[in-house]
Structure 1
Amino acid sequence: MAATLTDFYQNKKVLITGGSSGIGLALASLLIQNQAKVCILARTPENLQKAVRELENTHPSPDVEISSLTADVSDSANLNQALSTLLSRWGKVDILINSAGVAHPGEFWQLEEKIFHHMMQINYFGTVNAIRAVLPEMLTEKNGIIVNMSSVVGYMNIYGYTAYGASKYAVTGLSDALRMELKPHGIQVSLVYPPDTDTPQLAYENQYKPYVTKVLASSGGILKPDQVAREILIGVARRKYIILPGFENKLIYFAFRLLGKGLTYALMDRMVASALQRKTTAKK
Structure 2
Amino acid sequence: MVKRYQLAIITGGSSGIGLAIARQLVREGTSVCLLARHEEKLETAKAELSQYKIDENQTIDILQCDVTDYVCLKTKLTAYVDEHGQPDLVVNSAGVTYPGYFQELDVEIFHWLMNINYYGTVHVLKILVPGMIERGSGTILNISSQAGFAGIFGYSGYSASKYAVRGFSDVIRSELKPLGIQVSVAFPPDTETPQLAFEEPLKPYETRFIAGATKVKSADDVAGDILRAMNRGKYIIIPGFDGRFFYHLINLLGNITYTIIDILVNIAQKKKAKEGK
**Normalising by the residue count of structure 2, what TM-score does the alignment of the two structures yield?**
0.98
SS of residue matched to 2:233: coil
2:74 is the alignment partner of 1:77: no
2:36 is the alignment partner of 1:9: no
2:262 equivalent among 258, 269, 272: 269
2:214 equivalent among 202, 213, 220: 220
1:169 equivalent among 160, 163, 169: 163
CA distance in 2 between counterparts of 1:60 and 1:91 reads: 21
Q: Which runs of 5+ in 1 are unaligned?
A: none
Cα offset, 1:58, TM superposition: 4.1
Corresponding residue for residue 37 of structure 1: 31
Q: Tell me if the contact between 2:20 and 2:220 (Cα under 8 Å) persists in the aligned partners.
A: yes
Question: Within 5 A, what are the aligned runs for 1:194-273?
Answer: 194-260=188-254, 262-273=255-266
Q: Tell me if the contact between 2:191 and 2:218 (Cα under 8 Å) persists in the aligned partners.
A: yes
2:67 is the alignment partner of 1:67: no
Q: Tell me if the contact between 2:89 and 2:140 (Cα under 8 Å) persists in the aligned partners.
A: yes
CA distance in 1 between counterparts of 2:228 and 2:9 reads: 17
CA distance in 2 between counterparts of 1:86 and 1:94 reads: 14
SS of residue matched to 1:92: coil
Equivalenced residues, count = 277
Aligned-CA RMSD value? 1.2
SS of residue matched to 1:166: helix
CA distance in 1 between counterparts of 2:86 and 2:224 reads: 24
CA distance in 1 between counterparts of 2:218 and 2:89 reads: 23
2:148 is the alignment partner of 1:154: yes
CA distance in 2 between counterparts of 1:90 and 1:235 reads: 27
% identical aligned pairs:
44
Cα offset, 1:62, TM superposition: 3.1
Cα offset, 1:145, TM superposition: 0.7
SS of residue matched to 1:69: strand
Q: Which runs of 5+ in 2 are unaligned?
A: none
Cα offset, 1:61, TM superposition: 5.9
Deviation track 1:161-202 (CA, whole Å, cap 9, x = no partner) reads 000000000001100111111111111100100000000000
CA distance in 1 between counterparts of 2:84 and 2:40 reads: 24
Letter in 2 for 1:91: G
Cα offset, 1:91, TM superposition: 2.1
Deviation track 1:232-276 (CA, whole Å, cap 9, x = no partner) reads 11111100000000110011001111111x110000000000000
Letter in 2 for 1:142: G
Moved more, 61-70 or 195-204: 61-70
**Normalising by the residue count of structure 1, what TM-score does the alignment of the two structures yield?**
0.95
2:85 is the alignment partner of 1:96: no
Corresponding residue for residue 114 of structure 2: 120
CA distance in 1 between counterparts of 2:95 and 2:177 reads: 25
Corresponding residue for residue 135 of structure 1: 129
Deviation track 1:98-124 (CA, whole Å, cap 9, x = no partner) reads 000000000001101110000000000
Q: Tell me if the contact between 2:191 and 2:219 (Cα under 8 Å) persists in the aligned partners.
A: yes
Cα offset, 1:44, TM superposition: 0.5
CA distance in 2 between counterparts of 1:79 and 1:274 reads: 46
CA distance in 1 between counterparts of 2:57 and 2:221 reads: 25
CA distance in 1 between counterparts of 2:140 and 2:56 reads: 28
